[in-house]
A and B are shown apart, each in its own frame.
Chain A
Amino acid sequence: MENRIKEIRTKLGLTQEELAKKVGVRRETIVFLEQGKYNPSLKLAYDVAKAIKMPVDKLFLLEY
């Protein structure tokens, strides 16, 4: 699943570590999320979206 976490995070001037702290996960999880190598739970997806102030459906792009 593709996402725009890295793009938005960079725009907001947040580091991966800072975003991880805001969301309550380890930095490695943010790295894997950004690379699209990990599909988050619904809760984590909403937590990330909330942390970077972006609607979840605009942040995660599901390919069919």
Chain B
Amino acid sequence: MTLKKYNSIRIVVAMLLAVLISQSIVLRNYVLPIMGIAFSMGLLFYLRSKLKDEVLADERDYTIGGTSARWAIQIFDVFAVIVMIILYAKQDLNPSFLPVAITLAYSVCFLMILYALIFRYFDKIVFLTSRKVYAVIGIMGIVLIALFGLRLFSGEDDWMCQDGQWVKHGNPSFPAPRVECTK
């Protein structure tokens, strides 16, 4: 197995995975992509073990990777926040804008927290000696999960299945579910 062959296989696997995931979304099958990802990871790990005396990545790649990741996070955060504000402001045009805006907001928060945590993990000297940082992050995490849980499981502002029809309960910010209502 040569590095060139391995890279070609990796591209083909990524393309097949993209097709599989898009089809799974259409078919509403969530087991298929999980199995596909697990199989692909297994296959790539196996092929990687067959690569002997080949350097897949070196210190320059890791340096570039770090810079690229930081840039990607910053660009995504700015872009997502702008789109989120626009969608939030224009929610009257289409009610489905609001859940998209909320998802973007949570994604940005999650990404920033994850980045900060990973950064601090590798910057152990400061992080591990400060219990206050752990406490603040823990409280932030609990508050975020609680807010998200309240929003998701409160039962307020949701669609309810009544006599074979989806009926508004409160003022849901998203359209009625597309699955059949059978109660």
Contact = CB atoms under 8 A, between A and B. Distances in A.
SS of B interface (majority): loop
Nearest to B64: A38
B53 A29 contact: no
Nearest to A32: B60
Give the interface size bracket for B toward A. Answer: under 10
Nearest to B60: A29
Interface string A24-40: 11101100100000101
Interface string A6-29: 000000000000001100111011
Contacts, number: 25
Contacts of A44: 58-59
Contacts of A25: 55, 58-60
B60 A38 contact: yes
B57 interface: yes
A20 B59 contact: no
Given A29-B58, A29-B59, A40-B59, 9 more contacts: A24-B58, A25-B58, A25-B60, A26-B61, A28-B60, A29-B60, A32-B60, A38-B60, A43-B59
